[in-house]
A and B are shown apart, each in its own frame.
Chain A
Amino acid sequence: DTAVSQTPKYLVTQMGNDKSIKCEQNLGHDTMYWYKQDSKKFLKIMFSYNNKELIINETVPNRFSPKSPDKAHLNLHINSLELGDSAVYFCASSQVGSRRSSYNEQFFGPGTRLTVL
Chain B
Amino acid sequence: DAGITQSPRHKVTETGTPVTLRCHQTENHRYMYWYRQDPGHGLRLIHYSYGVKDTDKGEVSDGYSVSRSKTEDFLLTLESATSSQTSVYFCAISELATGELFFGEGSRLTVL
Query: Do the two chains bind?
Result: no
B interface residues (Cβ-Cβ under 8 A, vs A): none
A interface residues (Cβ-Cβ under 8 A, vs B): none
